[in-house]
Amino acid sequence: MALEQLPLNKIRAAEDQPRKTFYNESLEELAASIKERGVLEPIVVRPIKAANGDTTYEIVMGERRFRASKIAGLTHIPAIVRNYTTEEAAADALLENFQREDLNPVEKARAVQGLLKMMSMERVCKTLGVSETTVRRLMELLELPPHVQAELVTRPAGSGGQIANSDTGMFVEGHARALISVNDDPTTQMRLVAKVKAERLSVAALEQIITALQKYPTKKEVFLHVPANVSDQMIRSLSAIEDRKRPYKSQTAREHVKGIDKQSVTLTNLLDERVIEYLTAEEMNQLLASVAQATRLMEQFTAKVREALENKDFGFSETYIHCPLCGRIELVGSVRCSTCWTILRRCFDCGNYDRAGERCGKLGIQVPLADAEGPKEHSKSYKCRDYKPKFTPQTMRLKMAK
């Protein structure tokens, strides 16, 4: 091993150099630095004897410095000369570049592929200091068609040679890996690549769209055309339809009802007619269509619930009562408020109750005022079905479904 000042015209790049992509912008920056301060770190080369006895040198490490030195106008460059074998040179060249952020995944994969032709998987992993899983995941990228691989090689504008992080929405390794599952459809692959770049999709968003394309092939054109947020809404709706086709698990019913209660409160809070003043005619048409569809579904669902109550021996009466604590309106058939779990005070607000005499005029029984105001489970008014509202607002009779 020796450090020499070698003439640039005696040095050549290795054909199997891992880095295949060099960006002019970053080379110009390095050349400017070399002009000012010189080559601070020598390159590493190995001697190659020609048939005529001449010696040239093949670069093992430092091709960027070599190229930038040419741009800077140098004639010689400091170099460490080592007598590498072809296998040793390939391994060291890859090792130097393997963990660089600006060496793109495809270059890494191709370099590993070259090493695997010369040594075993176990030795490659040991040489690079990585797991077999890492190596195999890199090799998977080479299963992608060239036009998708090329997207990983292309540097995003303004990145300074750095590969973009997935958070930026640019096309990165995670996107490419997601597209492996659609290798049999290159046209769709490229449309998805364009969608990632146009909408700056995250890897997770792309994976969700690919899953939707595979699960709902008849909706392919829709998913490829609409924005990702619309795709997400469609996937939720289609999944809900699929769920309704499956056998229902009875243990989920209570959680289902809680969800309906929560969403109904959210929707009620959103129903502010002032919004109409700020909408265009087109937006109002869209709003009306959305509300009308929700109304139709709600009416159908309401009819089913009402029918179930009327067909069962529940003593059903569609009379409504206020919760004394939080003000929620419940059906009289409920025992407690579904929001705050307070026992509903039927007697106190009932038209049949004589507060002065503390007596129920309908049943002819005594009901202490304390029980009427704050009933407990042992109170006589608990679960009473004979509630008669005193005030019209407390009755919210819904339109009966036909």
Contact 124, 116 (CB under 8 A): yes
Contact 90, 118 (CB under 8 A): yes
**Which one-letter amino acid corresponds to residue 224?**
L
Cross-strand bridge partners of residue 48: 56
Residue of 58, 63, 151, 173 with catalytic role: 63
Distance CA 146, CA 144 (A): 6
Nearest CA to 82 among 113, 54, 43? 43
Nearest CA to 197 among 141, 154, 162? 154
**Which one-letter amino acid corresponds to residue 255?**
E
Q: What is the DSSP string of 21-73?
A: ---HHHHHHHHHHHHHH--SS-EEEEEEE-TTS-EEEEEEE-HHHHHHHHHHT
DSSP three-state, residue 165: coil
Q: Is 330 a catalytic residue?
A: no
Contact 84, 96 (CB under 8 A): no
What is the separation, in whole angstroms, between the first and last Cα of the chain? 95
DSSP three-state, residue 375: coil
What are the tokens at 227?
A: 């924005």
Torsion of CA 201, 203, 205, 210, to 10 degrees: 110
Burial class (CB in 10 A: 0-12, 13-18, 19+), 60: buried
Distance CA 28, CA 329 (A): 74
Measured from the Cβ of residue 130, the count of other Cβ atoms closer than 10 Å reads: 16
Residues 6+ apart with CB under 8 A from 373: 324, 345, 348
Q: Which residues are catalytic?
A: 63
